[in-house]
Structure formats: C-alpha cells, structure tokens
Amino acid sequence: MTWLLHGARDQKDVKPFLPLLSGLIEIAIGIYEVTGAAPNHLAGALYRASLIFEAADWIEGAFVIIHESIAKWQKLVITQDSERNQQNLAGAKRQLEHLESRR
C-alpha cells in the first residue's frame, strides 16, 4: 500500500489529494507497527512517507518521518549489515539533505 501511495504522489490528478495521502500513509505505517512488519518494510514506508509529505509541502512532517526512517535503517545496518540496508540508509540520508536544502 505504501508503495502505491508513494508512486501516486507526483501525478497531476493526485496533487489535490496529497493531504489525504499523508493520512493514508500514516495509517499504513501504523498497520506495519501493529502487525510487527519486518523492520526494513517499516523503514522503507517511513522513507516513502517523507517523500509524500514533501510533495504535499509539509516539510516539517517530512523531516520528522525521515529521521525515524534513518534511525531504523541505522539499526538494521548495525544488526543485519547488508549492502541493501546500507544503500537504503544512504538514500534516506540523501532525502534528509534534500529537505535541509528546502528550509
């Protein structure tokens, strides 16, 4: 679900509904947390949420969420060091840098 919401964020017809997408992605993250989804799925959903919040011009919300994603990716790199986790952590850090440039 989070992947579909993420993919829709830049579609012209979706722009008016971005505030709804932000709410839906938060619900999806809540479902991931409650159901004990794999940590990498939750970290990825948080990353995509940051992109959706940014597209909705909610930069502060995007900051909060990307910091959560980075923390989860860092933990994964420490506990399950893999190239994929390192790449995802690097991508989340790039998103943080991008958001900082928008401040």
Please tell me which residue, 84 or 3, carries the higher pLDDT value.
84
Q: How confident is the model at residue 94 (pLDDT cuts 50, 70, 90)?
A: very high
Burial of 48 (0-12, 13-18, 19+ CB in 10 A): buried
3 sits in which H/E element: helix 2-8
**Comparing 6-20, 69-83, 84-98, which segment has the lowest mean pLDDT?**
6-20
Residue 3 pLDDT greater than 60, yes or no: no
Closest CA to 103 of 66, 48, 47, 54: 54
Sheet strands (E) in 1-103: none
The distance from CA 54 to its chain's CA centroid, rounded to whole angstroms, is 10
- Rounded to an integer, the average pLDDT of 62-86 is 95
The pTM assigned to this predicted structure is 0.85
